[in-house]
Each structure stands twice: as structure tokens, then as C-alpha cells.
Amino acid sequence: MQVDYPYHFDSRDRTAEASEADHLRDLIEQVIFTSPGERVMRPDFGAGVSRLVFDAASPEAAATAGFVIRGALQQTLGQRILVEDVQASAEDATLTVTVVFRSLRSGLEDRVEVALGTGG
């Protein structure tokens, strides 16, 4: 078991744990929602796509977000997951991202869907 994110205590007043699948989903969300430079000791950590939310909603902005997220995930989590697919769509001020990945440890496929922006 892994430590659950965000850090909190469970009903036994102990550090909450997460399964491998939940932990990997948490890590993917951290990469997506973190901007490079935000973490002091890891300045290259993160995808930095939150700045794209304020660009005009367009297929180009969504494609850019998908490309940036795929690269950040491969760089940061490439030893733990295989990124199968990244789909991004932009509508109004919301960028919706779906990441399909495979755990390199268990081989199981999973997905994460997140919404970034003022509407999500």
C-alpha cells in the first residue's frame, strides 16, 4: 500500500493508505495540476497546463495540452506507467483531460479524467 494523497488520516487516526491504482491516479493528477517551478526541489515537475485554460477554447489548445501532459507524464512517471492515450478537449474556460495508462508493475490499464479551469 501507498500513502494516500492528499495526505490525511483514516478512521483509525493513522496515515491513510491507497491501493497502487489509486496511488498512480493521484500521481497523475499531481503532474497535471502542478506547474513547472512550483516545487522547490523539483523545478521541472509538472505539466503546467493550467495556463492553457485561459487561452481561447480551441482544438489547438486542447492538442497542445495533450502533448504537454503526455511529455510530463512520460518524464516524471515513465518508470511506473505506460501512457496509452491522452485526450484533451477545451470548452469555454474548461479543459477536460482523459489519460489512459498502464501500470508497469501490475500491467493493469486504468484512466484518469480531470477538468481544469473556472468551470471545473
Query: What was the pLDDT predicted at 107?
Result: 96
Query: What was the pLDDT predicted at 91?
Result: 80
Torsion from C-alpha of 55, 59, 64, 67, nearest 10 degrees:
150
Q: What pTM does this model have?
A: 0.86
Task: Return the C-alpha cell found at 57.
Answer: 477554447
Q: What stretches of the chain show up as alpha helix (H) in DSSP? A: 20-33, 59-77
| Containing structural domain, residue 12 | 2-117
Contact 24, 81 (CB under 8 A): yes
How many structural domains are present in the chain? 1
Q: What is the CATH number of the domain that holds 63?
A: 3.10.450.40
Query: What was the pLDDT predicted at 55?
Result: 64
The tens-digit pLDDT sequence of the chain (120 residues) is 788 988 999 999 999 999 999 999 999 999 999 999 999 999 999 998 877 766 666 778 888 889 999 999 999 999 999 999 999 988 877 889 999 999 999 999 999 999 887 554
